[in-house]
Amino acid sequence: MALQLLPRAEAQGADPTQSLNAALKNFENTLTEEQKREFQKSTTTPDIASVIEFVAEIDARNSSTTRRCVAPRLCTFLEATQQFTGVVDTFISSNPIVAALVWGGIKTAILTASNVASYFDKVTNMIMRIGKSSPTYQQFGLLYPGSTGLQSALCDFYAVIIHLCVKVIEVSRRTALKQTLSSILSPFESEFKPFLDLLDEATHKINLEVSLASKQADKEAKKLLEYESQQNSTFRPKTLDFYKTSLKQQADASEWRMKLKKKEMAKLKTIIRNNLSPINQDPHLRQVLKQRVSTTAEWFQRELVFDEWKNDPQTAILWCLGTIGMGKTVLMSNVVDQLRLHTARKSNETVSYYFCRIDNEASLSAREILGSLARQILNTHIEQSGYETLLSLQETTQDLSTTDVVKFLLSHLEAANGDKYYVILDGLDECDSNRVQAVARAIAELCSNYVGFKILCAGRPGLEKQFKYTAPQYRIIVNEEKVKSDMDHYITKTLEKCLEDETLILGEPAIITEIYNTLRGKAGGMFLWASLCIEELCAQNCDHDILEALKHLPQSLAELYDRKLCRVREGRAALQAMKLLQYCGTVKRPLTVTEYREALSLSLEQKTFDHGKVPNDMDRIINGCCGLTFVDEEEDTIHYVHRSVQERLFITNGLHIAQFEVSSADQNFGFLCMIYLDFTDFKRQLTKLKNGSGTPINPLQLGTSTLPTRSSSRVTSKIAQRLLSRHRQLQHFSTRGVERTAQKILGGDASQPERGFQFLNYARAYWLNHLADLTPDTNSTMWGLFCRCIEGDDVLTCRPWESEQQTDTKINDIPEAIQWLSAHGHYALLLYYERHQSQIFSENMVDFILQRADIHNRYRYTEVLVRLSDTSSILNRGFSYSAIHGCVRSLAMLLQAGADIDARVNDRTALQAAAEAGHLDVVQALLTAKANVNLSSSAKYGARTALQAAAGGGHLEVVQALLRAKADVNAFAKYGAPTALQAAAGGGHLEVVQVLLRAKADVNVFSAEYGERTALQAAAKGGHLEVVQALLRAKADVNAFAKYGAPTALQAAAGGGHLEVVQALLRAKADVNAFFAAKYGERTALQAAAEEGHLKVVQALLRAKADVNAFYTGYSKRTALQAAAEGGHIEVVQTLLAAGADVNASHAKSTGRTALQAAAGGGHLEAVQALLRAKADVNVFSAEYGERTALQAAAKGGHLEVVQTLLAAKADIDVEADVKAGIEDSGKTALKMAEIAGHTEVVQALLAAGSKDPQTHRRRLLRFNGDIE
């Protein structure tokens, strides 16, 4: 049947789904009886979980027939379809299950096509490209309800999709012979072209309807504004009667208001998500998933350690460690894929992930990593939030730092206690060490404040050492043995594909066995090495060359890369291929093929855009890179085949090629961006576009114009052929005459290749980022152009500080350009303002820049700014900032300029700041310059000396340097700060402790006035066994008491669960029954351990004769058993009972409870059962000021099983809480407390448990359940 789109549905009451219903009917008629039965089962509208499950099903079904996982190609299209089906039911009345039928039809077609492997590859590739232009909810979601035209356009689009599905099924049914003949007579592209053309038309129609609906929405918003303005105007008395009677206007206004609010809410959600992070991880995940060979990368999740990590009840981290090229990223992508499938239907489990990309600079930021994770974790929360909450979230997510993101995330996890969050991180070791440390600190903060995180990190060995965790850590090492089976399968499938595609051509077929065995034997688990070696073999010309190459395979990736680079330099497209390799490692985000086409045509000498230099065949250039680059089929962007390629080219640079010197390559690309933006014809073109005129198309230049895709070259060739056939008509014309005549010959085809400046968006957005280190001395010509670009008078550049929104964190009295250069470390921009606008630099502004300068820019920033302002305040501040950041050169310059070496800036001297940061070279320089080594800081930093600051940070060499300079080893610090020895002991810095002890540090001195404790107490609290042992050998007082609440060493160690430290202290005769020295809240070591649930410590203390029935002193008297019961620590409770703990020990004086009451109130069923078996009194009241029975406490908390257990133990159901229980519970029974709290099941249990009047209680139960009035 002929395909065509229906006209726009404008008539009142017209059915927008007419074309879609017809298509579905036609689709059903195409199916076999079995397929019809399956199709008719489609009655449920799909959700996002349906997409995940279907993609997994496709991959599973085709694991034995396809070599690569192609199902990820379908994701974008399937997600768009799911969004459509989620809304189509809202404007359908004739066929309410049409959404389910659309989904079922698409599934049926895809599953049918998947039975033919070679055909399915083409089908998925086509669907992937359709998905890129499919309408999304973000485009139409807020507009479709009020637009019949848009509803019709959407249905028309999916009607074409259903017709295309019919064609897919028809072709799938052909025999192998017919498939072969069809591919010759009517290629795949030709057969499906009519459908793709109709989809283009339908997409155009949707865009038009979206535009019209958007304009209508704007009109309605304007009308609403006018309406509300009239309602509030001075003419309201005159118009009030009119509005009262005009119910339609009021209804319209209400509808407009609702639409406007929905639109605003959608906008707020987008802003909030982008505030957290604008980076979308899904495309890169799909890119990696498509690299996976079917059935590989599955071993990881079968490891016993993986299950232990996954099932650990606490927060835990799993490390996946392996060397370069062993497939860690593919492993992680498969883990993400499987976890998403596992959690698709679970509301309390969330999967978030992040893949660092060395070719996308923004993705390597710690802030973006944490922001992206927060965005994914909180996505559902954001989506379900109401208007007021969204307004609050928008405000609180503005300008969040990395630390702020962590705090924000934690604040929104508190309400979701019990949820599990999987976090998968890959490639963190591609970030610099500062960023890794920032991520490590953030992850540690998350893990220490929320139970339920499951962190999985993949990287090279050593990465795990940068993460300091108290949470359980697991480890899986990726080695040759683990990946052996995967490697065999990978080599087999890759060689099969090369033979099928005829990229590997053999004269003697038997050679393939030798190739397989050699690769298998030498790969060493490195998939990357195997893949690149296969590419090398494919490049050989004959069997002899293949065998020779096989004998001399490179031993390492570095050698392999160097060989390939030599081949690149000898190839046909050497010049352009080398440029591509250079640019690929220089750009700030991946460029598309069309962007690279223009970038490769640029040179520094150009004044205008030269179409003649634009490469005609990008495939030749990409292939000329000899496998070091690839094109992502979905995004059409070019990437290195692995991040290690960039490392070899730019960092190690084995062949020492000047072209790959990082700073010069980066700057050169910035020059090209400026040259491009300064083209004269480019300016004329933009001027025409600004004035609304169309862009003239020159047919003779179409072959070299900027085309949207690489496939456009085929279109260009066909056009050229048509022109060539009419060459006689053209040969006697002038140039302009030729152009006019050619235009007539080509007709509408001439405008099909899309002409435009493809490199424009990148050049405008990133030109400045490439030029951070530019100076006038580097290149005076480029410096002049740089200045013109900044000023923007005649160059159409983008100045990023002008486009950024004003937020609360921006400083009003600092120009936005200065804030931007400070945030981005842009030295060239600072030089520009110093030379051309020096009058703007106030002292406050100079301080602002100095304070924020990074170590890379510190010296040169200081040099420039001191020229602008050399007051003592600026010199001293710059001196302090330089010490904090460890910049010795800046210190010397500032001292020479007159800085005071001992000046306090922000309450401490430069020496103290440098010592705390651990900058040895700075400390030595300051000591050489006669800095006062014993000067203390102000109260803000606890009045510490440099030695105390260095000791607390564990900076051994700094401590030694300060001691050699006669630092006072026993100097006291006021306001709670410890001595040097106490600080080092508390941090567990053994070597520093030993050095201080040798320097005669007083081992038993207390810390400052507030929070006094000895070094031994500090070390014991932190669980630092070796430090404790060193201090004990130095005669530390094992039973020293500290004032103001600090515990003895034994109590501190017991409370922290540090068993080995407890054992060491007991061997040193620590008093096992000593109470805390503090006046309020004293407890013994046993009570401390029991309260925290440290079973082994409790057992050790009992063996040491700890008093099992000792009470807390002060105003919260309770025993160890009561403390353990309250925490639900069942094993500790059982151990204490076995040791003779009094189960009915009198309750604490003020707010305490018996052990049974404490366990019941917390809902700890096993503890309650254990206490009852030990004859706990079930009906005794709790303490004087909070009297309740165990049953009342459990009922109020809604703990049903505990209530049932207590009732079985004869708990008194009718007793009333004492008046001393407070106004809230005074005079109330357990039943009343449960009723008020809304615990239905507990109320039912209590009512059913016994009443003197069963009928009365029956009526009360029915009334509570709402069964009677």
Give mean pLDDT, residues 15-33: 89
> How distant, in Å, are the alpha carbons of 50, 61, 106, 658, 740 from that of 57?
10, 6, 14, 50, 56
Top pLDDT among 602 and 43 is at 602
* pLDDT at 138 (0 to 100): 83
Distance CA 166, CA 26 (A): 8
- Return the structure tokens found at 1226: 């005074």
What kind and span of H or E run contains 459? Answer: strand 453-459
Give mean pLDDT, residues 1152-1161: 88
Is the distance from CB of 276 to CB of 372 less than 8 angstroms? yes
* pLDDT at 1150 (0 to 100): 45
Distance CA 815, CA 879 (A): 24
What confidence tens digit (pLDDT) does each residue in 941-987 have?
557 899 999 999 999 999 999 999 999 999 875 555 789 999 999 99
Q: How many residues does the chain have?
A: 1269
Give mean pLDDT, residues 789-814: 74
* CA 910 centroid distance within chain: 37
* pLDDT at 705 (0 to 100): 38
* pLDDT at 1076 (0 to 100): 54
Distance CA 732, CA 730 (A): 6
* pLDDT at 922 (0 to 100): 96
Position 938 confidence tier, pLDDT thresholds 50, 70, 90: low
The mean pLDDT value of the chain amounts to: 84
Owner of token pair 């250079």: 582
Which phi and psi (to 5°) does residue 1209 adopt? -90, 15
In CATH, which superfamily holds the domain spanning 274-478? P-loop containing nucleotide triphosphate hydrolases (3.40.50.300)
Distance CA 433, CA 439 (A): 10
Residue type, 990: L
Give mean pLDDT, residues 495-507: 92
754 has a pLDDT exceeding 90 = no
Give mean pLDDT, residues 429-436: 88
Q: Which of these ranges, 728-732, 830-834, 1135-1139, 1256-1260, has the smallest mean pLDDT?
A: 1256-1260
Q: How many other C-beta atoms can be found within 10 angstroms of the C-beta atom of residue 665?
A: 19
**Quick one: which of 223, 202, 65, 63 has its CA closest to 140?**
202
* pLDDT at 1007 (0 to 100): 63
Give mean pLDDT, residues 797-825: 79
* CA 205 centroid distance within chain: 36
Give mean pLDDT, residues 247-265: 74
What confidence tens digit (pLDDT) does each residue in 110-143 have?
998 888 877 888 899 999 999 999 998 888 877 8
Position 1240 confidence tier, pLDDT thresholds 50, 70, 90: confident
Top pLDDT among 536 and 413 is at 536
* pLDDT at 685 (0 to 100): 55
Distance CA 403, CA 210 (A): 41
Q: Which of these ranges, 218-222, 859-863, 1012-1016, 1030-1034, has the smallest mean pLDDT?
A: 218-222
Owner of token pair 């009058």: 839
Distance CA 1091, CA 1079 (A): 19
Give mean pLDDT, residues 660-674: 95
Helices (H) and strands (E) in the chain — how many of each?
A: 64, 7
1113 has a pLDDT exceeding 60 = no
Which phi and psi (to 5°) does residue 686 adopt? -65, -35
Is the distance from CB of 654 to CB of 665 less than 8 angstroms? no
Top pLDDT among 740 and 1120 is at 1120
Each domain of the chain, given as residue ranges in start order, spans 18-217, 274-478, 484-553, 696-755, 1169-1265
> How distant, in Å, are the alpha carbons of 179, 273, 347, 385, 1171 from that of 398?
57, 11, 28, 17, 52
* CA 28 centroid distance within chain: 43
- Give the rounded percent of residues in the chain with a pLDDT score beyond 70: 81
DSSP one-letter string for 603-648: -TT-SS--GGGS-S-HHHHHHTTTTSEEE-TTT-BEEESSHHHHII
Rama region for 1044: left / alpha / beta (φ>0; ψ in -120 to 50; rest)? left
Which residue pairs, CB below 8 angstroms and at least 24 apart, start in 1022-1025? 1022/985, 1022/986, 1022/987, 1022/988, 1022/1056, 1023/988, 1023/1053, 1023/1056, 1023/1057, 1023/1058, 1023/1061, 1024/985, 1024/988, 1024/990, 1024/1061, 1025/1058, 1025/1060, 1025/1061, 1025/1064
Which residues, 6+ apart, have CB-to-CB distance to 12 below 8 Å? Answer: none
Q: Which of these ranges, 26-40, 235-249, 561-575, 599-613, has the smallest mean pLDDT?
A: 235-249
* pLDDT at 1173 (0 to 100): 96
Position 1041 confidence tier, pLDDT thresholds 50, 70, 90: confident
Is the distance from CB of 134 to CB of 199 less than 8 angstroms? no
Residue type, 821: L
Position 704 confidence tier, pLDDT thresholds 50, 70, 90: very low
Fold adopted by 1169-1265: 1.25.40
Give mean pLDDT, residues 986-997: 95
- Give the rounded percent of residues in the chain with a pLDDT score beyond 90: 55
* pLDDT at 702 (0 to 100): 31
Give mean pLDDT, residues 1150-1158: 78
Top pLDDT among 977 and 350 is at 350
What kind and span of H or E run contains 962? Answer: helix 956-964
Which phi and psi (to 5°) does residue 355 adopt? -115, 110
Position 183 confidence tier, pLDDT thresholds 50, 70, 90: low
First to last CA, the chain: 65
* pLDDT at 96 (0 to 100): 62
Is the distance from CB of 648 to CB of 557 less than 8 angstroms? yes
Distance CA 981, CA 961 (A): 16
**Quick one: which of 773, 699, 780, 774 has its CA closest to 733?**
699
- Return the structure tokens found at 154: 């959407």
Give mean pLDDT, residues 426-432: 90
Is the distance from CB of 559 to CB of 611 less than 8 angstroms? no
- Return the structure tokens found at 43: 């009655």
Top pLDDT among 146 and 985 is at 985
* pLDDT at 953 (0 to 100): 92
What confidence tens digit (pLDDT) does each residue in 840-855 have?
999 999 999 999 998 8
Q: Which of these ranges, 688-697, 728-737, 944-953, has the smallest mean pLDDT?
A: 688-697
Distance CA 734, CA 956 (A): 83
Rama region for 1114: left / alpha / beta (φ>0; ψ in -120 to 50; rest)? left
313 has a pLDDT exceeding 70 = yes
- Return the structure tokens found at 968: 């006072």
